[in-house]
């Protein structure tokens, strides 16, 4: 399957000297720093690393096709999770969410996964493991949640919005089950022309989603009674969920 090529030279040249007032209250500004081909098991992509003026982290975009000047580009926001994404941890479903997004976009003509380097929702690996440890030693998930530092996502959306602007994406369709996220990105100047439900195929590792219900306090209890903290900004729908379970997820997403 052929796919378009990004105007790499132009993007790098423009970004070399890019400066702007920034996005949002924190005046977040990002620049494209490097671009390379990234063939993957999910399809052929470009990977693009960004510099930013705020957190010293190299956020990345995994880009399918030529998205510059494109409309209605499918986009997924993913927060880094070393334990899930790379190690296959079953304490969360981050890897399934990431693979589902890459598989879907890898079969499309164009699309973008923004890979935001905010392990444990921005608190870092050490604190995330601390929160896991609290749970292992019998602390409840409220305390563990506090240790995980659930925080406002505003800056993350500012970074994401500017990354899409740097790629010259004109409008997007966001892969999410959470309508509130559409408003947040829109506030930072991204034109959103639609929502693509984020639906994962069932497998042994996300089975707990199918056998449990979403809890108002923001975590899921699996059928062994073990709590799982949500690490991604919004939850996937797993094929096979009942309507009631889907509604519970959506209600939680709206209320969070
Ligand atoms: Zn800027
Ligand atoms: Zn995770």
- In the predicted model, is pLDDT for residue 147 greater than 90? no
Q: Which residues lie near ion ligand 2 (Cβ < 5 Å)?
A: 81, 84, 92, 94, 231
55 in catalytic set? no
211 in catalytic set? no
Ligand nearest to the CA of 161: 1
| Structure-model confidence comparison of residues 35 and 130, the more confident one | 35
| Structure-model confidence comparison of residues 120 and 197, the more confident one | 197
Task: Find residue 43's DSSP bridge partners.
Answer: 40
pTM: 0.91
d(CA 71, CA 124): 34
Contact 177, 238 (CB under 8 A): no
Average pLDDT of the chain to the nearest whole number: 86
How is residue 235 annotated by DSSP?
Answer: P
Neighbours of 182 (CB within 10 A): 17
d(CA 43, CA 32): 22
Tell me the pLDDT band of 130, cut-offs 50, 70 and 90.
confident
List pLDDT tens digits, range 27-38. Answer: 999 999 999 999
- In the predicted model, is pLDDT for residue 256 greater than 50? no
Share of the chain above pLDDT 90, in %: 53
Burial of 144 (0-12, 13-18, 19+ CB in 10 A): buried
């Amino acid at each position: 399957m052929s796919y378009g090529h990004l105007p790499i030279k132009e993007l790098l040249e423009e970004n070399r000297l890019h400066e702007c007032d920034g996005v949002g209250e924190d005046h977040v500004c990002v620049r494209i720093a490097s671009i390379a081909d990234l063939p993957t098991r999910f399809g052929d992509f470009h990977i693009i690393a960004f510099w930013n003026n705020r957190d010293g982290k190299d956020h990345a975009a995994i880009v399918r096709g030529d998205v510059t000047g494109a409309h209605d580009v499918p986009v997924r926001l993913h927060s880094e999770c070393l334990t899930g994404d790379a190690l296959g941890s079953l304490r969360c479903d981050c890897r399934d969410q990431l693979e589902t997004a890459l598989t879907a976009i890898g079969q499309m003509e164009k699309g973008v996964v923004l890979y935001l380097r905010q392990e444990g929702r921005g608190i870092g690996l050490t604190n995330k493991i601390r929160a896991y440890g609290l749970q292992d030693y019998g602390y409840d998930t409220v305390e563990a949640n506090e240790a995980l530092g659930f925080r406002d996502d505003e800056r993350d959306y500012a970074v994401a919005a500017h990354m899409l602007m740097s790629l010259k994406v004109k409008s997007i369709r966001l892969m999410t089950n959470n309508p509130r996220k559409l408003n947040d990105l829109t506030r930072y100047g991204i034109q959103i022309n639609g929502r693509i439900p984020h639906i994962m195929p069932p497998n042994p590792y996300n089975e707990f989603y199918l056998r449990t219900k979403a809890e108002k306090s923001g975590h899921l209890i699996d059928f062994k009674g073990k709590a799982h903290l949500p690490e991604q900004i919004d939850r996937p729908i797993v094929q096979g969920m009942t309507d009631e379970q889907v509604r519970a997820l959506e209600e939680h997403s709206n209320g969070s």
